[in-house]
Amino acid sequence: MEAVPYLEEDDEEEEEDWTETVRLEVVEFVLRRYGTLRAQDLAKVLNWRVKEVNQALHDLEHFGKVTRLQLGKTLAWATKEDRLQAPMHY
């Protein structure tokens, strides 16, 4: 019978980084697929807390993947590509 390899501390850190990457990719995918959304809407769709969604959105903004849009009193988020291709509303 083979022994199960011991999970070292470095392996645990890599696992956490992997899961965070997936979370960011999920948020980015939803924005690409459905366009500009509010953090509250993303949280409802993904069944996450708004705080978790906001953290992911701020991380994606830091990486240059999404941008925040001020639409009147509402703050919404879009991918950079959507923002560049979206028509200007007057």
pLDDT at 5 over 50: yes
Tokens of 87: 């028509």
Second-level CATH architecture of 15-85? Orthogonal Bundle (1.10)
Six token digits for residue 6: 């011991």
Averaged pLDDT for residues 13-30: 85
pLDDT above 60: residue 43:
yes
Backbone angles phi, psi at 79, to 5 degrees: -75, 160
State the first-to-last Cα distance of the chain, in angstroms, to the nearest integer: 71
Please tell me the distance from the alpha carbon of residue 49 to that of residue 26, in angstroms, as a whole number. Answer: 14
